[in-house]
Structure 1
Amino acid sequence: METTTKLPLQVTATPAAVALIGKLRGKHGGLMFHQSGGCCDGSSPMCYPLGEFLVGESDVLLGEVDGTPFYIGRPQFEYWKHTQLILDVVPGRGGMFSLEGPEGVRFLIRSRVFQDDEIGALRAAGKI
């Protein structure tokens, strides 16, 4: 009997992150996230009004978090493609251009390395 592995989410969020997304959506309408590998603010997940950040060929749509598209820069994706990204929230100041800045909290990424069967499923699906 053949067993199949459910395709794991490449990005997910904690309940606190989902709650903050809802709050921000209420204030700003549709949202989007972008994660790059830059320094300073660029190393944090950035939350923008939907369409405010122009994505291109060098960006990968990793998935959606609470209906919000989450993009990652291709170089960063290559580095993290074997890892599930978990969007979370902690007290502190958000990125200068990220919408959560005035809320007294900031988004950050936690992660876990995929199991071998999850990596196999992602490869078979053409996701990595």
Structure 2
Amino acid sequence: MSDTPRVELTPAAAELVRRLREIHGPLMFHQSGGCCDGSAPMCYLAGEFRTGAADVLLEELVVAGVAEPVSFWMSRSQYEVWSHTRLIVDVVEGRGSGFSLEAPEGVRFLIRSRLVDA
């Protein structure tokens, strides 16, 4: 499983990340596992969301056309539930959280997943 990325982006999500990076600068994701919008991956300026001992860094996503990796963090309690899956960040039409950088674009990030071998 060490060669399997824990998190990946669909082509549509990667394109949106490139656009957001051009507008805002370095980015990061965090998924808290709370209800409603909290269960979706939120995109922030890198370092804007404070992470700590209650969070796990799942992946440093390398996105073509983006100068630096995009970190993907998840709350530790949520990771315990999702640890057997590969997370696939996708983008769909519809408004997500007002705190996530893609909200003004009329789209939102969401997670799709696949089971992985232990």
1:10 matched residue in structure 2: 6
Instruction: Please give the root-mean-square deviation of Cα atoms over the aligned residues, in Å.
Output: 1.1
2:86 matched residue in structure 1: 84
What letter corresponds to residue 86 of structure 1 in structure 2? I
Q: Which runs of 5+ in 2 are unaligned?
A: 64-68
Instruction: Say which SS state the counterpart of residue 19 (structure 1) adopts.
Output: helix
1:50 matched residue in structure 2: 46
Aligned residues: 112
1:29 matched residue in structure 2: 25
| TM-score normalised to structure 1 length | 0.84
Kindly state the Cα deviation for residue 102 of structure 1 after the two structures are TM-superposed: 0.4
Please say if residues 41 and 96 of structure 1, whose CA atoms lie closer than 8 Å, have aligned partners that are also in contact.
Answer: no
Query: Which one of 109, 113, 116 corresponds to residue 114 of structure 1?
Result: 116
**Aligned equivalents of 1:26, 1:88: Cα separation in 2:** 19
| TM-score normalised to structure 2 length | 0.91
> Map of 1:86-105 to 2, 5 A cutoff?
86-105=88-107
Kindly state the Cα deviation for residue 95 of structure 1 after the two structures are TM-superposed: 1.1
**Aligned equivalents of 2:2, 2:27: Cα separation in 1:** 28
> For the pair shown, which has the larger CA radius of gyration, 1 or 2?
1
